Amino acid sequence: MPERSEQSRNKVVAAALLAFGALVAIGAARLQSAGPHAGDPSISLVADLGQRKLSILRGDNAVEAFPVAIGKGSKQTPRGHYSIRKIVWNPAWVPPDEPWAKDKTPQPPGAKDNPMKLVKIFFQEPDYYIHGTSEVESLGEAASHGCLRMDPDDAYRVARFLMENGGQPRDESWFWRVLHLRSETKTVYLDHPIPMTVTGN
């Protein structure tokens, strides 16, 4: 009996140590997210319309770059300097009052035919934003109605980076809910807006 009690006590201690280790890891991740890069004024985005590329910069150094589709014809992506304040996860889509959308129907959050996919990152509200697309073959082309289209996985990574560096970090369970409860829209307002420049021809 004493031997069994000792084994039970060892199991409890081991479980407690594992739980403590997990909490430490989560705390470290949060500190990293909310640490020196939260509100870091050196973070910015640059969309180069000529190169059809969106870059994340820290100072003058590119952290990462992604291919995008840009506006076409009379629906050009507007050039200028903007601030990203608002990110909408699992957005619904309402067709705009435009000739190209006259046969389109509204799409709820998470719907297969929702052209916004997982996330919208506004840079000029209410009309212009970065969003995912199922038409990944359009990346690198002038193919949108003014917004910047990205691979949905890239849009996820950019949005998450902006939250972590804009003062609104979230833990893994929050992103799990975003990814798996697709009918639930979540809107995030950054404490520290991230500057964005749209340039090029």
CA distance 135 to 170: 29
The domain defined by 43-199 folds into L,D-transpeptidase catalytic domain-like (2.40.440)
pLDDT in tens, 54-101: 999 999 999 999 999 999 999 999 999 999 999 999 999 988 888 878
Helix (H, G, I), strand (E, B) or coil at 38: coil
Do residues 38 and 192 make contact, with C-beta atoms less than 8 angstroms apart?
yes
Q: How confident is the model at residue 199 (pLDDT cuts 50, 70, 90)?
A: very high
pLDDT higher than 70, residue 31 = no
Query: Of 67 and 21, which is predicted with more confidence?
Result: 67
CA distance 22 to 3: 29
pLDDT higher than 60, residue 35 = no
Mean pLDDT of 186-191: 97
CA of residue 95 relative to chain centroid, distance: 22
Eight-state DSSP code of residue 24: H
- As a three-state string, the secondary structure of 108-157 is CCCCCCCCCCCEEEEEECCCEEEEECCCHHHCCCEEECCCEEECHHHHHH
The pLDDT assigned to 38 comes to 53
Cis peptide before 108 (omega within 30 of 0): no
Do residues 198 and 78 make contact, with C-beta atoms less than 8 angstroms apart?
yes
Query: Of 188 and 104, which is predicted with more confidence?
Result: 188
pLDDT higher than 50, residue 34 = no
pTM of the model: 0.79
CA distance 159 to 30: 17
pLDDT in tens, 41-58: 899 999 999 999 999 999
pLDDT in tens, 155-181: 999 999 999 999 999 999 999 999 999
pLDDT higher than 80, residue 13 = no
Lowest mean pLDDT among 15-29, 84-98, 135-149, 179-193: 15-29
Residue 32 CB neighbours (<10 A): 13
CA distance 50 to 177: 37
Tokens describing residue 103: 């046969």
Q: Which of 123, 125, 143, 122 is nearest to 134 (CA)?
A: 143
